[in-house]
A and B are shown apart, each in its own frame.
Chain A
Amino acid sequence: MESIWKNILIVGASSGIGEALARQLANDNTQIALVSRRESELKRVASELKGKSFIYPHDVTAYEDIPGLFQKIVRDLGGLDMIIYTAGVMPPIGENEYNFDKDLTIIEVNLLGAMAWLNEAATRFGVAGVGTIVGVSSVAGDRGRRGQPAYCASKAALNTYLEALRNRLAVKGVSVVTVKPGPVATPMTRGLDNLPMIISAEQAASGIINAARRKTREAYVPGKWRLIMFIIRHIPSILFQKMKI
């Protein structure tokens, strides 16, 4: 389907959902800015896209670089219609492992990087009175699962941050879309077994784009996760702590 957005910025674009989003959003009229750590991967993705693309190698934890880089990107594009933050990490955590270094990385990439980038976009879109902010979160943010404490916490915090942005910006004509995919087959989940109802990155990207197009406040991808997570959210804690999910 033809993209309704011309100038698009994707943070976390060199693989997985970000790469699939870039492929699906690109057409002859789009200009896509791809931001990610690995320059070689960015070049590979960009070379296969339709339309015009720009690449910016960047580590989202280099927070002090973000205001200047954001301004440069929108200048290079000549404007901005949508930003998608899809950078995320989920390192494997052992059953009895409490590793602060890993936790810090998770919070920095999944949450603080998002805040640093999306604050810039929120300022600009608020002034423009138009724009779409998409934060790719996860169903994991709905409950504190035993397997991934920091990852769940990072996504829960991201959800709340995005909700607050939405409440601030709705009145200004800016839509903020929180997307909560279930498990997606990406490099991040490679090697993990028994992931339920896993979908491809392409399917996830398609769901995210549909949610952005419809300006859905909070979208589960695929949609059936909404019912599942509704049930899971309402399981009493005393029971949930006994469940191995």
Chain B
Amino acid sequence: MSVKTSVERSSAIRWNLPVLPSDHLENVSAWGMAQEAVSYVYRPSTVEGVRSVLQLALEKGMTIGLRGAGRSYGDASLNAENICLDLTRMSRILDWNPDQGVIRVEPGVTIGQLWRYVLEDGWWPYVVSGTMFPTIGGAASMNIHGKNNFQVGTIGDHIREFEILLPNGKIKRCNRVENSDLFHAAIGGFGMLGCFLSITLELKRVHSGMLKVLPISVSSLHDMIQVFEARMQSADYLVGWVDCFASGSSIGRGLIHQANYLQPGEDPMPTQTLRVENQELPETFLFGLAPKSMMWRFMKPFVNPVGMRTVNAARYHSGALHSGKTHFQTHAEFAFLLDYVPNWKWAYKPGGLIQYQSFIPASNAEEVFKEQINLCRKHKEVPLLGVFKRHKPDPFWMTHAVEGYSLAMDFRVTSSNKERIWKLASELDRIVVKAGGRFYFAKDSTLSPKSLETFYHEERVQRFLSLKKEVDPICLFQTNLFRRAFQPLL
């Protein structure tokens, strides 16, 4: 029990509080739809506009939560009952050098906008997420990784520099030399140190719009790891899909996709394959009879344990038939698998979904992920989708990446299983902490201060929080995630 008195006052009870106009009120949803918040949403399109929102927040005594495309699965871009600074209108390409492959963009530029802009000049972003809708500002804040994390690191490894507006209104230019601490803390700093105003990225030269893709079927998690270890020197991309319904000796069975860039001369028509129109994902399905926008409705009847057990098994067995047969895919087709079915998350309505992704050192990854899958089975909450990736460390203070593996597991949330899933997640956390693993705020919905105790004591986290105090002493920049995860330290 605790009691807070907002204001001590006498018999003359009057409040004279600032009021924000209700026409800015919006219901803001986490991408997974399992969390929502009502916020005062502001969408400036200029640096001055961003500054004026900071000023407004200070005048009204409110906090600011930054939001890009809102593609974090959990509450990373929610700031309940306070200001949500939505940067999607800051979406201009500021500078592009097609000879060197260096581009400067505003934070609201999306990954889709970026690759479409540079591809025909023969460039592709080093790091993209499984969907092209996130903004570059959001991607930098979360220091996202792709299916090639083991080769090229995270997006931060390819950011040359950025300009950031600090909570005190100052603008700083940061790179590996100038304001290096801020550079390494703000990338992956989940928007707690300031608002990116521009980001300069280095891109990857590509000689074709196609990738060579090799599917490899694996009958267990052990085999999955063996294949990853054997191929990570030669592969440009590696991603594993895991059938979490399989048990016993088949636990962790699945399908790996390896992809490699084409070397100069391998593609006879690079100018053709590099054309944006040849990259776009198909807009129809059922032999062109139905628009893809309807496809999630066809998925919905399968989004349950029985349906997904069937889908997973069918996918595994059909994948086994094509195992070892190389084919070609466009960059967009391979990279943005999650965009293949527009709004597929709607199949998880009304409760939405959460993703639980943990990062475990390679030495004990097999044992830990088996334990996690078994624990899910024990709780009768088998993940409907599992995705396996290889990672490597990077120099960013709040990074999630380790020299090891991650398993991302999707859970459907309903009003009846919500409490059970959160309880399961806290038990999964214990396994991760014990194994010296890490969590990823872009995906997180469930972490509690209890699960983060060890994390709080890490030197890098202490450094991050000291820097937060230095640049934002009044904690102007906050989110639901920040309050949830860091409450004991505030």
Contacts and interface: CB of A to CB of B under 8 A. Distances in A.
Which size class do A's interface residues fall under?
20 to 34
Given A53-B2, A55-B3, 15 more contacts: A51-B1, A52-B4, A53-B3, A54-B4, A57-B7, A58-B13, A69-B15, A72-B15, A75-B82, A78-B81, A79-B37, A123-B22, A123-B25, A124-B25, A127-B25
Contacts of A47: 1, 3
Interface stretch (A60-68, A106-114, A222-230): A60-68
B9 A68 contact: no
B3 A43 contact: yes
B19 A68 contact: yes
B36 A56 contact: no
B6 A56 contact: yes
Interface in B451-490: 480, 483
Interface in B1-45: 1-7, 9, 13-20, 22, 25-27, 36-38
Contacts of B82: 75
Contacts of A79: 37-38, 80-81
Interface of B: 1-7, 9, 13-20, 22, 25-27, 36-38, 62, 80-82, 480, 483
Interface string A26-51: 00000000000101000100110111
A37 B328 CA distance: 73
Contacts of A77: 81
A157 interface: no
B425 to A, nearest CB: 17
B14 A72 contact: no
A65 B12 CA distance: 13
A58 B26 CA distance: 27
A83 to B, nearest CB: 14
Nearest to A58: B13
Contacts of A56: 6, 15
A71 B81 contact: yes
A39 B13 contact: yes
A43 B26 contact: no
Contacts of A75: 62, 81-82
Nearest to B37: A79
Contacts of B26: 127
Contacts of A123: 22, 25
A46 B17 CA distance: 23
A78 B487 CA distance: 13
Contact of A54 (B6, B14, B16): B6
A33 to B, nearest CB: 9
A128 interface: yes
A238 B14 CA distance: 47
Contacts of B6: 54-56, 72, 76
Contacts of A187: none
Contacts of A51: 1
Contact of A55 (B5, B19, B38, B81): B5
A124 B13 contact: no
Contacts of A46: 3
Contacts of A124: 22, 25, 38
B304 to A, nearest CB: 24
A71 B19 contact: yes
A48 B4 CA distance: 13
Given A39-B9, A58-B15, A124-B38, A71 B20 contact: yes
A91 interface: no
Contact of A69 (B4, B9, B17, B22): B17
A50 B3 CA distance: 10
A52 B38 contact: no
Given A50-B1, A128-B27, A37 B13 contact: yes
Contact of B19 (A52, A67, A76, A128): A67
Interface in A108-138: 123-124, 127-129
Contacts of A49: 1
Contacts of B62: 75
A65 to B, nearest CB: 4
A74 to B, nearest CB: 5
8 contacts: A39-B9, A50-B1, A51-B1, A55-B5, A56-B15, A57-B7, A65-B15, A75-B62
A163 interface: no
A57 B9 contact: yes
A65 B17 contact: yes
A62 B1 contact: no
Nearest to A69: B15
B13 A59 contact: yes
Contacts of B17: 65, 68-69, 71-72
A165 B13 CA distance: 29
* 7 interchain residue pairs of minimum CB distance: A68-B17, A75-B81, A65-B15, A46-B3, A57-B13, A127-B25, A67-B19
Contacts of A50: 1
A56 B2 CA distance: 15
A72 B5 CA distance: 13
Contacts of B22: 123-124, 127
A49 B36 CA distance: 27
B3 A127 contact: no
A123 B20 CA distance: 13
A71 B6 CA distance: 13
